[in-house]
C-alpha cells in the first residue's frame, strides 16, 4: 500500500492496526515469560519454600509442582524445535 493510501485509510483502519500491533507485543511478552526456564525454576524454588514454611500442604505442592514441570518441559521442547 502506498503512503498516500495508508494515510487515507488511517482514520478507519488506524485503530484495528494499533490493536493488532499491541496484541502481537503482548503475545510475545506472554510467550517469553511463560517459556523462561529461569522463571520456572524460581517458581519451583518458591513452591519448595512455601512447603517448608507450612504455607501449603504436600498435596498442593505436588499439584503445583506438576504444573510447573509440565510448563518447563514444554518450554524446553519449544526451544529444541
How far apart CA 61 and CA 49 sit, in angstroms, is 10
User: Number of folded domains in the chain?
Assistant: 1
Q: Does the residue 61 lie in any domain?
A: yes
58 part of a folded domain? yes
What secondary structure does DSSP assign to 15-62, as a single string? HHHHHHHHHHHHHHHHHHHHT-HHHHHHHHHHHHHHHHTTSS-HHHHH
Q: What is the dihedral of CA 71, 77, 79, 81, to 10 degrees?
A: -150
Domain that holds residue 38: 25-80
pLDDT tens-digit readout, 21-76: 888 898 888 888 777 888 899 999 999 999 999 999 999 999 999 999 998 898 88
Distance CA 77, CA 75 (A): 5
This prediction has a pTM of 0.61
Amino acid at each position: 500500500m502506498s503512503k498516500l493510501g495508508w494515510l487515507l485509510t488511517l482514520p478507519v483502519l488506524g485503530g484495528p492496526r494499533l490493536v493488532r500491533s499491541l496484541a502481537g507485543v503482548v503475545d510475545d511478552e506472554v510467550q517469553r515469560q511463560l517459556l523462561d526456564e529461569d522463571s520456572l525454576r524460581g517458581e519451583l524454588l518458591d513452591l519448595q519454600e512455601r512447603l517448608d514454611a507450612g504455607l501449603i500442604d504436600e498435596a498442593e505442592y505436588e499439584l503445583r509442582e506438576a504444573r510447573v514441570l509440565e510448563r518447563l518441559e514444554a518450554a524446553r521442547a519449544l526451544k529444541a524445535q
